[in-house]
C-alpha cells in the first residue's frame, strides 16, 4: 500500500495561539491508527498513512476515489474536544490539517465537522450566474483583502453561516478542494491564478454587496468556488499559493481581475478545463500557456496594488550578511512572534545585521509555516511573517484590552 503524509496544526481560536501538548488521534472506521502530541508550536510530526495509488488522481475516472480519508480527534486540557471527519490523504503528498479548538464552558460538547469530497470526485453543480453580468459597484483599485467573507451556502440561504477567512488561506482551501496536488506544478499554478482572479473579481466588483448581501463570495460551485470549512490543504498547493497570491489574470489592460470560470471538463470558450489543463501540463505547457489556451491571447498577469493588513511592504530579499533597517524590523518581528511560537529561537540584541542566529530563526519560522527552509526572507516569507505578526498583535491586544 502506498503512503501519504499528514501534518496537524492545533490552535486555540486563532493561528496566533498554538496549543502545546494537545492529543491528536488519527482514526479509520472508528479504529485508532496512531496518536501524537503537539509540540510547543502546536504541531505534530508528519504522520505516514496508507492511501490510494497516485495513478487514480492522474486520470479522469469515477471508479476509484483517488485519495484515502481519515478522522482526527483532538483533545487538550481546558479546551473543547474536536473531531474532523474525512481528512484527505494523497499518495506521496503532505496534507496539512489546521484544527481550531475553543475553551470549555459549562455548555461545551464535542465539536464535529466533516470535510466534503473534492469537486473532481463528487458531482459538480453547474454554475448558474451569467459571466457577462457585472456590478456597477467597483473599488478604485485591485486589493488583496486581509480576509474574505465566505457565505457557506447559496446566496438565498439566510441560515447559512458566514466565515471571515484570511484571503491566502481561502485560495489554498479552494484549490485543495477543486484540483489534485499530484498534478504538474504548472497546471496547479494556472488553476490557482484562475481561482485568485475569480475571487478578486468578486472583491473588486462587490458583486454580492451590490445586491444587498453581507458577504463577498459563496462556498458553492453553483455560484462561485468551493470553499470547504475546516478543509484539508495540500503542502504543494500551499507553496504555490504563497508564491502568487497577489497575482491575477486580466484581459488587455482592463482594470478588473478576470472572472475566470473553470469546470472539470468543458469545451466552452472562456472556461478553463481542469482535467484539460492537467493534460496540457503533462505536455509541457507552462502556466501562462495553459491560461492563454483557455482565456485567449489577450490576457496578461497583473499584480494587486495593495495588500491589506501588512504593516511593512516587501522591498527585496534579505539574507545572511545583509545589514539594513529592514533586517532590524525582521529581527524584532521574529522575536515578537516568538511570544506565540517559542520554538523560533530568540535573536539576541537585534542590530540590523543578518547574522547566523537570524538565519536560524528564519529557517525555523519557514519550517513551522510550510515554506521552503532557505533561511532567505523572500517575498512569500516576508508576507507570511507579516501575516503572523498581525495575528499575534491582534491576540495580544485583545488579551490586554
Collapse the DSSP code of 359 into the 3-class scheme (helix H, G, I; strand E, B; otherwise coil) and give the result. Answer: helix
Residues 6+ apart with CB under 8 A from 149: 162, 163, 164, 165, 214, 215, 216, 217
Predicted confidence at residue 394, as pLDDT, reads: 87
b/e sequence 317-356, b meaning 16+ C-beta within 10 Å: ebbbebeeebbebbbebbbebbebbebbbebeebebebbe
CA distance 48 to 350: 39
- What is the mean pLDDT of each successive set of 10 residues along the chain, which is 401 residues long? 96 95 97 98 98 96 94 95 97 98 81 95 64 62 94 96 97 98 98 98 93 95 95 97 96 92 80 95 98 96 88 88 96 96 96 97 96 95 93 74 39
Predicted confidence at residue 61, as pLDDT, reads: 86
φ, ψ of residue 226 to 5 degrees: the values are -85, 110
Predicted confidence at residue 401, as pLDDT, reads: 39
- Bridge-based pairing state of the strands 306-307 and 143-144: parallel
Predicted confidence at residue 25, as pLDDT, reads: 98
φ, ψ of residue 33 to 5 degrees: the values are -90, -45
CA distance 112 to 367: 29
CA atoms within 13 A on the CB side of 313: 5
Domains of the chain are 3-114 (2.60.40.1120), 143-307 (no CATH), 325-394 (1.10.101)
DSSP E strands, 185-322: 217-218, 233-234, 247-251, 262-263, 272-273, 299-303, 306-307
CA distance 61 to 372: 33
Q: What is the number of other CB atoms lying within 10 angstroms of the CB of residue 66?
A: 23
Amino acid at each position: 500500500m502506498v503512503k501519504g503524509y499528514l501534518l496537524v496544526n492545533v490552535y486555540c481560536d486563532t493561528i496566533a495561539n498554538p496549543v502545546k501538548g494537545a492529543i491528536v488521534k488519527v482514526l479509520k472506521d472508528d479504529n485508532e491508527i496512531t496518536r501524537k502530541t503537539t509540540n510547543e508550536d502546536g504541531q505534530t510530526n508528519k504522520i505516514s498513512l496508507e492511501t490510494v495509488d497516485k495513478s487514480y488522481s492522474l486520470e479522469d475516472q469515477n471508479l476509484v476515489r483517488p485519495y484515502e480519508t481519515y478522522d482526527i480527534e483532538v483533545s487538550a486540557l481546558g479546551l473543547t474536544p474536536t473531531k474532523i471527519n474525512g481528512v484527505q490523504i494523497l499518495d506521496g503528498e503532505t496534507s496539512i490539517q489546521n484544527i481550531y479548538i475553543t475553551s470549555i464552558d459549562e455548555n461545551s460538547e464535542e465539536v464535529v465537522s466533516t470535510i466534503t469530497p473534492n469537486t473532481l470526485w463528487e458531482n459538480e453543480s453547474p454554475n448558474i450566474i451569467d459571466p457577462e453580468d457585472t456590478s456597477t459597484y467597483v473599488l478604485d483599485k485591485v486589493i488583496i483583502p486581509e480576509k474574505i467573507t465566505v457565505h457557506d451556502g447559496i446566496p438565498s440561504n439566510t441560515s447559512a453561516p458566514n466565515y471571515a477567512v484570511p484571503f491566502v488561506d481561502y485560495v489554498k482551501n479552494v484549490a485543495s478542494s477543486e484540483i489534485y496536488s499530484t498534478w504538474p506544478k504548472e497546471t496547479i499554478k494556472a488553476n490557482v491564478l484562475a481561482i485568485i482572479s475569480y475571487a478578486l473579481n468578486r472583491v473588486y466588483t462587490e458583486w454580492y454587496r451590490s445586491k444587498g448581501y453581507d458577504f463577498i463570495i459563496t462556498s458553492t460551485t453553483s455560484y462561485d468556488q468551493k470553499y470547504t470549512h475546516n478543509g484539508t490543504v495540500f503542502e504543494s498547493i500551499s507553496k504555490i499559493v504563497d508564491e502568487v497570491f497577489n497575482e491575477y489574470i486580466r484581459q488587455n489592460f482592463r482594470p478588473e481581475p478576470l472572472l475566470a470560470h473553470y469546470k472539470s471538463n468543458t469545451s466552452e470558450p472562456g472556461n478553463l478545463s481542469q482535467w484539460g489543463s492537467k493534460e496540457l501540463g503533462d505536455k509541457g505547457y507552462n502556466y501562462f500557456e495553459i491560461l492563454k489556451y483557455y482565456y485567449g491571447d489577450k490576457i496578461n498577469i497583473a499584480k494587486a496594488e495593495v495588500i491589506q493588513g501588512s504593516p511593512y511592504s516587501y522591498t527585496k530579499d534579505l539574507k545572511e550578511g545583509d545589514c539594513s533597517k529592514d533586517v532590524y524590523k525582521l529581527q524584532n518581528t521574529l522575536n515578537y512572534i516568538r511570544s506565540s511560537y517559542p520554538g523560533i529561537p530568540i535573536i539576541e540584541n537585534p542590530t540590523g545585521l543578518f547574522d547566523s542566529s537570524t538565519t536560524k530563526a528564519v529557517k525555523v519560522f519557514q519550517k513551522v509555516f510550510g515554506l521552503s527552509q532557505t533561511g532567505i526572507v523572500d517575498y512569500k516569507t516576508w508576507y507570511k511573517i507579516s501575516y503572523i505578526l498581525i495575528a499575534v498583535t491582534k491576540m495580544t491586544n485583545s488579551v490586554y484590552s
